[in-house]
Chains A and B, each alone.
Chain A
């Protein structure tokens, strides 16, 4: 459980200016499912799952995700963006309990 919030970002090893870069990102998170009692009624409580993911590149948002409990545990998300300048790609995951997990990757051209 101590791994909650660990963010991994994978970008291709060689990027050229103007390329469209496909990014795979993963966060360690339980994404709690809705629980039900014996009668099948939903147990009302605050479930801890990630509901917002934002990817920024050079400070500008490229892709944002709104996700629900229908997304798997340790969610992995894929998106792409156009690499124009060297700089930082940042992905922020936010969960329903106020947890905020960030991962960054440096975009460099080779």
Chain B
């Protein structure tokens, strides 16, 4: 009984040491890949709430002469609707389009996409295939480098809704 006590203590210390090392490396490897959970960009909200969340109370002017929003008049299949937005902008370092937002008023996630552009893009033109839940307005909102906001909207008639979101 008394004979094996020192061995057990040594073994005990050994295992403690191993555990300590494992614990330390474990903590290190865990802390590296863990990323901060950023707030999701698209939320379930009404379009008014969404615009308020993104732009605060900033006024959005009519951009009919500047923005060309290309959407079909009738979308037979709401789950794939091509939308393209083209903005006439010089795209120089002082005056360029910073963001283009695509918004569908009737979607449960109304803020569909945000494109962040740089002057290197040369031309402010983006497109995406989106889902539309039901008939309603589709807007393109443009944020310029000086903070000015412009928008255009067009109604799209949706025959078969294609939206869970």
Contact = CB atoms under 8 A, between A and B. Distances in A.
B108 A66 contact: no
A77 B163 CA distance: 18
Interface in A53-68: 57, 60-68
Interface in B76-127: 79-82, 84, 104, 107-118, 120-123, 125-127
Interface string B113-143: 1111110111101111111000000000000
Contacts of A79: 115, 121, 125-127
Contact of B125 (A73, A75, A78): A78
Contact of B113 (A36, A65, A74): A65
Nearest to B113: A67
A82 B164 contact: no
A71 B116 contact: no
B84 to A, nearest CB: 6
Contacts of B111: 68, 70
Given A33-B163, A33-B164, A71 B120 contact: no
B136 to A, nearest CB: 12
A78 B121 contact: no
Interface residues of A, number: 33
- Chain B interface residue number, banded: 35 or more
B17 interface: no
B55 interface: no
B116 A77 contact: no
B71 to A, nearest CB: 13
A71 B122 contact: no
Interface string A24-45: 1000000001111000001000
B40 to A, nearest CB: 7
Given A77-B127, A79-B127, 10 more contacts: A24-B127, A65-B115, A66-B114, A67-B114, A68-B111, A69-B164, A70-B130, A73-B79, A77-B126, A78-B127
Interface of A: 20, 22, 24, 33-36, 42, 51, 57, 60-82
8 contacts: A35-B164, A63-B126, A64-B115, A65-B126, A67-B114, A75-B129, A78-B125, A78-B126
